[in-house]
């Protein structure tokens, strides 16, 4: 493990939630600008290991999802489906729905398409996005988030930048000039992060979780430091030094807030980070094992398999085989 100096209190982030959100690895996979005319109805299938968002930019649409009250979606709101649940969108309640796979689309590139569909009546425009999360991000977020987050733009901060962002989204979506796809992805990623931040900031966790610990004035800065520097030489003495508590008081408080002991939390954090590094970097297994705090590949592989059910080498080989298809 690389030796690093203790982080001073000044370096401990004053906005732990914002700092941890900055580390979330959320990537846009696919975006669709839908041009719909009443009557219309589309069934959207469930998306495993991903999330979806939808923004109505003109007209209105009805969202129907199991376990949630049917709602009318109008401009000025963003809907986020953190677990990628199946749902239906329609021009009015009771309208017959077509499976999304049967609706014709016009692809512009592998990650952006236009969809035009409906009976020629009142128009509605909807921006749809599909996102994927890294293993660590999914582990952090999934247990905390409900099936549907629906927020007005006013909850996301300044409505001025939101209005400008949506204007830019509409312009890029309708013309798709060179580089427009990349612009769309970046704007949508920012909108999703703002939505998550607004919801998480307004939520008061009742069960132990990293979010509950982040909102604690003592543990929040420490958790932010752990997430930013998981490979540092953390031990109980170092953590206690950060929060200024005795070992027994610190361990009890940490466990009450997160549901894990400090060192188990750190071990889990490092292993999930290693999972993402195996998929996204060309670091050797030994380098990743060392950064996770393991002195041998064998010890790292045993710990990794105990959490994920397969060896790290198997994960990387499977990734290579998928990339070759």
Which is it for strands 26-37 and 112-118: parallel, antiparallel or unpaired?
Answer: parallel
Query: Is 158 strand, coil or helix?
Result: coil
SS3 307: helix
At 51, is the secondary structure helix, strand, or coil? strand
Residue 99: which of 45, 152, 150, 51 has the closest Cα? Answer: 45
- The predicted pLDDT at position 65 comes to 95
The C-alpha atoms of residue 72 and residue 263 are separated, in whole angstroms, by: 47
SS3 for 285-303 is HHHHHHHCCCCCHHHHHHH
**pLDDT number for residue 222:** 92
pLDDT of residue 241: 92
Cα–Cα distance between 18 and 242 in angstroms, integer? 19
pLDDT at position 267 is 94
Q: How far apart are CA 29 and CA 262, in angstroms?
A: 35
State residue 3's pLDDT score: 40
> Tell me: the pLDDT tens digits for 175-205?
667 766 677 777 777 888 888 888 888 888 8
Q: How do residues 19-73 score in pLDDT, each as one tens digit?
A: 666 666 777 778 888 999 999 999 999 988 789 999 998 999 999 999 999 999 9
Q: Which whole-number Å values give the CA distances from 184 to 110, 134, 173, in the listed order?
A: 13, 21, 7
d(CA 14, CA 220): 9
Q: If you write DSSP's letter for every residue of 168-217 in order, what string do you get?
A: HHHHHHHH--TTHHHHHHHHHHHHHHHHHHHHHHH----S--HHHHHTST
Q: Report pLDDT for 62.
A: 98
* Structural domains in the chain plus CATH codes: 19-202 (2.60.120.280), 217-324 (1.10.10.60)
Q: Tell me the β-bridge partners of 27.
A: 132
Residue ranges, the chain, pLDDT below 70:
1-24, 158-159, 170, 173-176, 179-181, 323-325
């Amino acid at each position: 493990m690389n030796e690093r100096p203790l982080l001073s209190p000044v370096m401990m982030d004053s906005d732990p939630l914002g700092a941890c959100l900055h580390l979330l690895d959320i990537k846009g996979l696919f975006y669709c600008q839908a041009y719909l005319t009443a009557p219309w109805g589309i069934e959207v299938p469930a998306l495993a290991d991903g999330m979806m968002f939808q923004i109505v930019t003109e007209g209105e649409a009805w969202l129907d999802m199991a376990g949630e009250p049917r709602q009318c979606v109008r401009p000025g709101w963003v809907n986020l489906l953190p677990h990628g649940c199946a749902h239906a969108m329609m021009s009015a309640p009771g309208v017959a729905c077509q499976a999304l796979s049967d609706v014709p689309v016009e692809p512009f590139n592998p990650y952006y398409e236009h969809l035009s569909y409906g009976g020629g009546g009142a128009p509605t425009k909807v921006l749809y996005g599909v996102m994927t999360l890294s293993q660590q991000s999914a582990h952090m977020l999934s247990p905390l988030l409900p099936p549907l987050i629906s927020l007005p733009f006013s909850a996301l901060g300044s409505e001025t930048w939101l209005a400008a962002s949506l204007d830019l989204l509409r312009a890029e979506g309708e013309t798709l000039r060179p580089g427009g796809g990349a612009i769309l992805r970046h704007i949508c990623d920012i909108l999703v992060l703002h939505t998550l931040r607004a919801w998480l900031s307004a939520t008061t966790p009742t069960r132990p979780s990293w979010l509950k610990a982040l909102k604690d004035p003592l543990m929040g800065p420490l958790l932010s430091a752990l997430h930013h520097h998981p490979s540092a030489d953390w031990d109980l003495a170092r953590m206690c030094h950060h929060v200024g508590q005795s070992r027994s008081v610190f361990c009890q408080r940490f466990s009450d807030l997160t549901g894990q002991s400090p060192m188990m939390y750190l071990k889990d954090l490092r292993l999930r980070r290693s999972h993402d590094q195996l998929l996204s970097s060309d670091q050797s297994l030994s380098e990743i094992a060392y950064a996770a705090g393991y002195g041998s590949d064998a010890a790292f592989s045993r710990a990794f398999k105990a959490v994920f059910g397969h060896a790290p080498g198997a994960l990387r080989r499977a990734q290579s085989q998928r990339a070759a298809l």
